[in-house]
Amino acid sequence: MLIRLLRRHLRPYTGTVVLVLLLQLVASIASLWLPTLNADIIDNGIAKGDTAYIWRIGGIMLAVSAVQVVSQVIAVRGAARTSMGLGRDVRERLFDTVLSFSSRELGQFGAPTLITRNTNDVQQVQTLTFMSLVMLAAAPITGIGGVWMAMRQDVGLSWLIAVAVAVLLTGMAVVIARMVPLFRAQQKKLDAINRVMREQIGGVRVVRAFTRETEEKARFRQTNTELTDIGLRVGDLMAVMFPFVMLVMNVSSVGVIWFGAQRVESGAMEVGALTAYISYLMQILMSIMMATMVATMIPRASVSAERIVSVLDTGTSVTAAAHPQRPDRLVGEVDLRSVDFTYPGAEEAVLHDISFSARPGTTTAIVGGTGSGKTTLLRLVPRLADVTGGQILVDGIDVRELSPQDLWSRVGLVPQRPYLFSGTVATNLRFGDPDASDEQLWEALRVAQAEDFVSAFPEGLDHPVAQGGTNVSGGQRQRLCIARALVARPTIYLFDDSFSALDLATDARLRAALRPRTQEATVVVVAQRISTIIDAEQIVVLDAGRVVGVGTHDELLATCPTYEEIARSQELTGAAA
């Protein structure tokens, strides 16, 4: 998965990657050359007292160092640009993919993990890419080149390199084998902590109202402690690893000096070669350590890549038709034909065999007990989910055959839980029509009975709105969402219990103002209060996902016991109505 993700997203940076690798090659060759030059100065310059030679080789050493530094600076900059660019591209792709998801896919993943995947998981892949280009790419050149250069200085001490490398590799392998499962667990715990945080921030009022702060704190503390414990265990392993690497390096240097000194004494090796040998051994061990360190990141980044790719590979279940029908004019007639719907993973359907038509210029109300499927039914029209049986037609065309943009631009949905975006009243209202004039906004606000409170804001239309619309009351939020739908001037209005937070008088005024405004549109209203829909041309009564009655208020009172019962419970059976 990691390779696939990198291959797909590194393609635009191929040129930079090749340049970085070439520069790393140059920098590694330069750093491998330096100890040999140093040995040369000691053996041929200092030992023989040849000052001119020392100056000449010293000059070459300076030039080589300069090449090394410049190459490395450019390489690191290239690596940073590549990895940051990769991170940005992957985040963008993830965002686009998530935006195309229907409620089925959103429910399948859940918001907390989608956020972690777009932030922390991408960060893991990004960091691995950077470290690989900076450290991993140079490691084989320095490691293998170091062995070759060291052997050129003295073959007799090769066994020391072999022993040191074997000990270092074994020790690192043991440590890393323990780290990998911890990294996996760490990613999962991050998801968990994100989930708890989101739940608690979202539900903070409920937490306070039920004085559940202590319990919620305990729940957060537990998840937080688990994450900390994993971090500490990783830290413990690191605490062992670094001294171990230093020990191997120091012991092997002592070994080189010990055995090298004997070879110098016997005349088999020169002093300069011995110093070069120590440098090469350090370079070899360092490169192994760096490579292993980066290698420890691979499992964690692989887990992250899997999590990213699984989102990218999830197509939306609400797909656009290959050859969508593009009618010139949609008048907004909605026909439901034997519609069934089952939520993914659910055993039973929540909607069974629903059939009715909603005509332009009329209001169709949907009533029914809690959980009878009203919201679900409404969401099927703009394809927030697709029917699992039957058909929904708009102007005679199956909604799945229409281009989603055409469909969405004609449907104005006011959801049960009204949501506003951070910005201002005006930016929220212009969601439906970015070109709407201020006058059009005020008109929509007037119809939605929101003019009074918006004009009371000192900034009026420019009054700031917090994310989710939390700085306005529930009823104000509902009215702003209604106004937003009105600004878009759709041909089909879907109001999902949108008047529930309004007092009876405002509800009545709003409905009266809506009538002329929605004269030519198809209006579908889900309502709990019968008084809200008493004038509707057609009322559809749902009970446990089935239609148990269709008619006007008076007809249903006479023919539909379920409706009669709801109306009676609201004292709207006779004179009161």
In the complex, the residues that contact ligand ATP under the rule CB under 6 A are 107, 343, 346, 350, 368, 370-376, 416
d(CA 461, CA 445): 10
Taking the complex as a whole, the smallest distance from the CB of residue 496 to ligand ATP amounts, in Å, to 7
Taking the complex as a whole, the smallest distance from the CB of residue 342 to ligand ATP amounts, in Å, to 9
Taking the complex as a whole, the smallest distance from the CB of residue 115 to ligand ATP amounts, in Å, to 19
Q: With beta carbons less than 8 A apart as the criterion, state whether 334 and 504 touch.
A: no
Helix (H, G, I), strand (E, B) or coil at 7: helix
d(CA 334, CA 411): 11
- Comparing CB distances to ligand ATP, the nearer of 5 and 526 is 526
- Comparing CB distances to ligand ATP, the nearer of 91 and 379 is 379
d(CA 157, CA 259): 8
- Comparing CB distances to ligand ATP, the nearer of 135 and 380 is 380
Taking the complex as a whole, the smallest distance from the CB of residue 111 to ligand ATP amounts, in Å, to 13
- Comparing CB distances to ligand ATP, the nearer of 360 and 373 is 373
Taking the complex as a whole, the smallest distance from the CB of residue 169 to ligand ATP amounts, in Å, to 51
Token pair of 4 as six digits: 């696939």
Strand partners, 513: none
Taking the complex as a whole, the smallest distance from the CB of residue 309 to ligand ATP amounts, in Å, to 25
Taking the complex as a whole, the smallest distance from the CB of residue 341 to ligand ATP amounts, in Å, to 9
Question: Identity (one letter) of the amino acid at 298?
Answer: I
User: Which residue in 541, 534, 547 sits closest to 576, CA to CA?
Assistant: 534
- Comparing CB distances to ligand ATP, the nearer of 224 and 416 is 416
DSSP state of 457: S
Taking the complex as a whole, the smallest distance from the CB of residue 343 to ligand ATP amounts, in Å, to 3
Q: With beta carbons less than 8 A apart as the criterion, state whether 324 and 402 touch.
A: yes
- Comparing CB distances to ligand ATP, the nearer of 105 and 191 is 105
Parallel, antiparallel, or unpaired for β 411-414 and 423-424? unpaired
| 496 CB-near residues (< 8 Å, 6+ apart) | 374, 375, 378, 413, 414, 415, 416, 526
Taking the complex as a whole, the smallest distance from the CB of residue 19 to ligand ATP amounts, in Å, to 50
Taking the complex as a whole, the smallest distance from the CB of residue 375 to ligand ATP amounts, in Å, to 3
User: Which residue in 502, 499, 494 sits closest to 528, CA to CA?
Assistant: 499
* CA distances to 82, 291, 350, 415 from 124, in Å: 14, 17, 41, 37
- Comparing CB distances to ligand ATP, the nearer of 354 and 480 is 354
d(CA 104, CA 106): 6
- Comparing CB distances to ligand ATP, the nearer of 75 and 377 is 377
Q: With beta carbons less than 8 A apart as the criterion, state whether 550 and 378 touch.
A: no
Q: With beta carbons less than 8 A apart as the criterion, state whether 395 and 332 touch.
A: yes
| 275 CB-near residues (< 8 Å, 6+ apart) | 35, 38, 39, 42
Q: With beta carbons less than 8 A apart as the criterion, state whether 463 and 424 touch.
A: yes
- Comparing CB distances to ligand ATP, the nearer of 269 and 542 is 542
- Comparing CB distances to ligand ATP, the nearer of 211 and 370 is 370
DSSP result, 88-105: HHHHHHHHHHHHH--HHH
Count Cβ atoms below 10 Å from residue 196 Cβ, excluding itself: 18
Parallel, antiparallel, or unpaired for β 334-341 and 492-496? unpaired
- Comparing CB distances to ligand ATP, the nearer of 343 and 457 is 343
d(CA 377, CA 350): 9
- Comparing CB distances to ligand ATP, the nearer of 120 and 500 is 500
Taking the complex as a whole, the smallest distance from the CB of residue 83 to ligand ATP amounts, in Å, to 38
- Comparing CB distances to ligand ATP, the nearer of 415 and 490 is 415
Taking the complex as a whole, the smallest distance from the CB of residue 145 to ligand ATP amounts, in Å, to 59
In the chain the first and final C-alpha atoms are separated, in Å, by: 64
Parallel, antiparallel, or unpaired for β 389-394 and 334-341? antiparallel
Token pair of 327 as six digits: 């009618």
Taking the complex as a whole, the smallest distance from the CB of residue 372 to ligand ATP amounts, in Å, to 4
* CA distances to 174, 413, 422, 513 from 445, in Å: 68, 16, 18, 11
Taking the complex as a whole, the smallest distance from the CB of residue 418 to ligand ATP amounts, in Å, to 14
- Comparing CB distances to ligand ATP, the nearer of 154 and 507 is 507
d(CA 151, CA 32): 13
SS3 of 419-445: the string is CCCCEEHHHHHCCCCCCCCHHHHHHHH
User: Which residue in 505, 565, 98 sits closest to 369, CA to CA?
Assistant: 565
